[in-house]
Structure formats: C-alpha cells, structure tokens
C-alpha cells in the first residue's frame, strides 16, 4: 500500500499519480513568537494511510491546518496536490471531518442537508443533479444514518452528528480524506466499524490522513505513523513505531498505553 518515495518531484499535472498529495518542507509555524511546530518535513503520496499522533498541544491540528492551507507557514512551504496549499481551491479533491465540528450549533438543518454540502464543490453555483442526490443517499447509508436523514442535526447525539459529518466527507468523493479526531463522542462499537470503513476506502485508492490521540486505533489500522510533538519524533511504518521508543519520547513521562480505547 505504501507508495514509493522516489517519485519525481512536484509540479506537473496535479492528477498525476506520482505527484505527492501533500508535501510539507521545513515548515515552521507559531501564533506568537513561540513556534507551535518546528522544522517539519512530510510527504504523503496517493494511496497512503497515514496517522498523525501526539499529545494534546503537540501541534497536530496546526499541522493539519497548514497542510490544508487554512494557515500559511511562517517558514518553509506547504503544498497540496502540487500547488501552494493556501492557494489550492479544488475542494472536490479533499474530504474533511473536523474534531467536534466547527459547525453552527443551533441552526435548523437536516442531516441530509449537511451531507448535501459534500457535493457543493462539484456543483458550484448549480443545483444538485439526481446522481448527486444518489451519492448523498449512499453516503448516508454507508454511515448507517439513512433513518435520520430528515432529522434536525441539533437533535442528534455527538456520535450521530459526527457520523453525519463523515457522510458529508464521503459524499465529496474526494481523493484525500483528512480527519481530525473523527471518532470523538462516537460509541466504541461504531468506532471499530468506522475504522473498517476507512480501511476499505483506502483499499479503493483513497488517501487517508488521520489526526488521532487514540493510539490503539492508529496502531491497528494505519500503515504509517507520524509522531509529533512540536517536531516530528517518528515517521515510518506502523510496525516500526510499535517496536520503537518513539512513543515514550514524544509523550514524555505521562505515557498513554496503546490499547486503552475509550
């Protein structure tokens, strides 16, 4: 599954399989004088299943925002599909599931209307066609939320809401799925099913980038682990990560034992 890293360097057409989907080069970023992330270089190729782990405040979400172009690096470059990340605007290629969704909390809107937004990058100013709606309904079905399609999102539990946002990302039919702690609030049983879903999406060639603090989920499913705490402590295949002492070094004294999935 892991793509070779000797692909030719960037530029060229974004659709070329060899172009890295994400390429971060010597990136520094800080909101104040103190940097949040330092000297990060990362490359993610098409078809990979990468997990970024690290303790709270390790800069995981900041790194993700840099990769997605929501933030611009203070130093270094961040590229998305071969373009500067902050200039990249082809939303149809990225699916995004936020941690505890940034979304409005009181707005009247149904689950189906939320999932529909996944199609917006494809339809632009136009209307959703019948096939767009089919994709929306299939995504709802995939996450087991068909019965809730006409429910108001504000009446759902945290886990149900999260499923709706996952369905929105699926409906986008993106090449790259970026998930920031997607299973927060989701019940344990569904979490397992959810990671299976990610695996089968990955088998179909979709690149998965997962930001997680649940180490068990990461070591069971991801092919590659990036361990982060301000800087990259480890970057390599999952098996090597499990055997290494990267975990102890990254998390310092307070270690979270792999396996305590909550």
Partner 1 sequence: MSEAVAFLLQGGFDAVFSPLYWLLDLWSVLMSWLAGATGLKLLQYEFMHRAILVGLCIGVMAPLIGTFLVHRQLALIGDALAHTAFAGVAVGLFLNAVIDLGVSPYLTAVIVAMLAALLIELISEATDAYNDVSMAIVLSTGFALGTTLISINAGGLTVSVEQYLFGNLSTVTTQAAAILLVLFAIIIAVVAVTRNQLLYVTFDETAAAVSGLSVSWYNRIMVMLTALVVVGAMQIMGVILVAAMLVVPVAGATQVSRSFSEALLVSVVLAELSVILGIAVAFYAGATAGGVVVLVAVAIYALAVIAGKLQTVIGETARPKMDSIDAEATEQPGD
Positions touching partner 1 (CB under 8 A) are: 46, 68, 70, 88-92, 94, 96, 98, 101-104, 106-110, 113-114, 117, 120-121, 123-125, 138, 141-148, 150-152, 160, 163, 168, 170, 172-173, 175, 178, 189-190, 193-194, 196-197, 199-201, 204-206
CB of 156 to partner 1, least distance (A): 10
CB of 94 to partner 1, least distance (A): 6
Which of 59/69 has CB closer to partner 1? Answer: 69
Task: Decide: 225 and 238 in contact? Cβ < 8 Å.
Answer: yes
Q: What residues contact residue 70 under an 8 Å CB cut-off, 6+ apart?
A: 86
CB of 130 to partner 1, least distance (A): 16
CB of 139 to partner 1, least distance (A): 9
Which of 205/237 has CB closer to partner 1? Answer: 205
Q: Write the CA distances from 165 to 48, 107, 134, 185, 256, integer angstroms.
A: 22, 15, 17, 13, 28
Question: What gap in Å lies between CA 241 and CA 252, rounded to an integer?
Answer: 16
Q: Write the CA distances from 21 to 8, 15, 157, integer angstroms.
A: 13, 10, 34
DSSP symbol at 59:
S
Measured at the alpha carbon of residue 177, what is the angle toward residues 42 and 13, in degrees to the nearest 5? 65
CB of 195 to partner 1, least distance (A): 9
Q: At what angle do helices 158-171 and 188-203 cross, to 10 degrees?
A: 10
CB of 207 to partner 1, least distance (A): 10
CB of 88 to partner 1, least distance (A): 7
The full 3-state SS of 198-229, as one line of letters, equals HHHHHHCCCEEEEEECCHHHHHHHCCEEEEEE
Q: What residues contact residue 132 under an 8 Å CB cut-off, 6+ apart?
A: 119, 122, 123
């Amino acid at each position: 599954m892991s793509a070779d890293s000797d692909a030719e360097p960037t530029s060229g057409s974004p659709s070329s399989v060899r172009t890295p989907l994400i390429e971060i080069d010597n990136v520094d970023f800080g909101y104040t004088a103190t940097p949040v992330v330092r000297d990060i270089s990362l490359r993610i190729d098409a078809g990979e299943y990468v997990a970024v782990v690290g303790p709270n405040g390790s800069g995981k979400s900041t790194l993700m925002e840099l990769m997605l172009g929501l933030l611009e690096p203070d130093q270094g470059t961040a590229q998305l599909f071969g373009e500067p990340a902050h200039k990249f605007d082809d939303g149809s290629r990225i699916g995004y599931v936020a941690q505890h969704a940034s979304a409005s909390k009181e707005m009247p809107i149904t689950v189906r209307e939320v999932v529909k937004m996944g199609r917006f990058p494809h339809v632009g100013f136009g209307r959703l066609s019948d096939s767009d709606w089919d994709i929306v309904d299939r995504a709802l079905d995939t996450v087991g939320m068909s019965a809730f399609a006409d429910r108001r999102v504000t009446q759902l539990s945290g886990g149900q809401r999260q499923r709706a946002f996952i369905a929105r990302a699926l409906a986008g039919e993106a090449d790259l799925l970026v998930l920031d702690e997607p299973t927060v609030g989701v019940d344990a049983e569904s979490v397992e099913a959810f990671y299976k879903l990610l695996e089968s999406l990955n088998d179909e060639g979709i690149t998965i980038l997962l930001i997680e603090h649940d180490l068990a989920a990461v070591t069971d499913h991801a092919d590659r682990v990036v361990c982060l705490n301000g800087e990259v402590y480890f970057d390599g295949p999952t098996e090597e990560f499990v055997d290494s002492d990267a975990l102890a070094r990254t998390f310092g004294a307070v270690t979270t034992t792999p396996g305590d999935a909550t």
